[in-house]
Structure 1
């Protein structure tokens, strides 16, 4: 990967379908997500197609799925498949993994193996879908391993479109994705690199407080068009957090083209834009 040639690094994209056609979510939850994002009928690209999409734009992208087998009963897309497919397109793709924290010691062993044997560069958690609060001590052995491995942990924060409109929200509890729970993780694992994903509605101020207070906590801007960003998020991205805010789209439900077009309209200092689009991520991932 030639970082100097890249226009941007998208730190938040989803592998939604496996090579054999297995979806990362149940049809019910996937349909709710499509409707929430007004993306009905969008194609679920393969990882190879994702690579082509970003290669055409001279961008790199972090790719992951979500392992929530315990809470949902839905089989995951294999982390090894994601890692292998990304390795075949290593000029533009960066593999993250997802390990359900409910898997205990088996999950810890898997996390170590994924990094040391499969080149995984970070881990994705979705507390609401996985059915746990980030500060639940049950997950701490997994965080300890990730911290020792020296790779980042990305946590979904705020409301989620997954399960929106389904009776009972499909069993998904929003409370687990309050970024203040991740503050406990940042305290107890002070060297763990953490990314708070998304504008954290309805807890945007909490996310800004955690990222300002804890030196290794970052924020990605995925899941929302920039034209809808809360004013305080734009203000902090343009000032105190300019070195800790990251471009993320949430592809394929939001495309980098749409996100970047709206990002251009934000009132940001000229020297801040390249930090958000590429430089901060390159530093965080050790690519700079």
Structure 2
């Protein structure tokens, strides 16, 4: 009888192991969330520019936040080269939205090839309280290693601003290395690598070598937008989580990459990664408050 009973008691454990659902809902962090990666359209013609499935108007963003326990959304715009009038319009638009809706945090943008004009714009938005500048090597069509990018990064360091870089390029397999070296050579600047390098995420372990040097500061953060929904419950999950823990969970933050991904589903994808409740709290909330200086 004892043998049969022990077999029965083992069945739920076996089922859990086979399904991979090792954490119940009560073991997950279900508190406040800060979404560090949200694209907002500033023109009606751009409502479907990022996704064929959903629009990304301000109304869309304000609607999903309470459904997903998101208390702050960091809204992003993207500058175009050689059109400073449009760049200023985009930056002013999201700054205005953040004034109208205090739950929104603006990430402005400039183009590194706009030189002094880009620096002037950085100073202008910085005076209005903007902390983060968005740069996208793919969409803005520039190489991370060119001198113009280094000059912009130096300017960001002088202004104590954070640079949010898209960190995956299907056309440049060396981009992760270039970004890491950019951060290493500009210790006064702070960086967020969006998407955590995507399929190239193992290259981020180069940071472990940099930690050996006394001059190195932990000036690189990461958001798990896109990578969590795509790889978080994949055969690469264990490698992904191991990489996060090796670099240090304190450097990672949540991002939905709305409208490409649904925020509620993006949150579930992080839950599927197998992090502890304490690690999830840091990733979903605490780390972003520390970086942004939020109370």
TM-score range with shorter-chain normalisation? 0.7 to 0.9
Separation in 1 of the partners of 2:190 and 2:274? 28
Q: 1:1-288 alignment to 2 at 5 Å?
A: 7-15=32-40, 17-18=41-42, 20-23=43-46, 30=49, 34=51, 40=52, 42-59=53-70, 60-70=72-82, 78-90=90-102, 92-117=103-128, 119-159=129-169, 174-175=171-172, 178-210=175-207, 213=210, 215-224=218-227, 225=229, 226-228=232-234, 230-288=237-295
When structure 1 is superposed on structure 2, of 46-55 and 134-143 the one drifting more is 46-55
Distance 1:149 1:128, change over 3 A: same
Separation in 2 of the partners of 1:148 and 1:257? 37
Check whether the contact 2:254–2:283 (CA below 8 A) recurs between aligned residues.
yes
Separation in 2 of the partners of 1:112 and 1:212? 34
Q: Secondary structure at the match of 2:183?
A: helix
TM-score, normalisation: structure 2: 0.77
CA shift for structure 1 position 154: 0.8
CA shift for structure 1 position 58: 3.4
Separation in 1 of the partners of 2:146 and 2:77? 22
Distance 1:176 1:144, change over 3 A: farther
Distance 1:176 1:65, change over 3 A: farther
Check whether the contact 1:63–1:95 (CA below 8 A) recurs between aligned residues.
yes
CA shift for structure 1 position 249: 1.0
Q: Which runs of 5+ in 2 are unaligned?
A: 1-29, 211-216
CA shift for structure 1 position 230: 4.6
Match of 1:170 in 2: none
Distance 1:264 1:212, change over 3 A: farther
Aligned length: 253
Check whether the contact 2:68–2:263 (CA below 8 A) recurs between aligned residues.
no
Distance 1:211 1:13, change over 3 A: farther
Q: Secondary structure at the match of 1:175?
A: coil
TM-score, normalisation: structure 1: 0.79
Distance 1:130 1:45, change over 3 A: closer
- Structure 1 runs, 4 residues or longer, greater than 4 Å off: none
Check whether the contact 1:158–1:177 (CA below 8 A) recurs between aligned residues.
no
Deviation by residue 1:135-185 (Cα, 9 ceiling, x = unmatched): 31112332222112222111101146xxxxxxxxxxxxx218722111222
Q: Secondary structure at the match of 1:96?
A: strand
- Name which one, 1 or 2, has greater alpha-carbon Rg: 2
RMSD: 2.7
Separation in 1 of the partners of 2:111 and 2:263? 28
Distance 1:180 1:208, change over 3 A: same
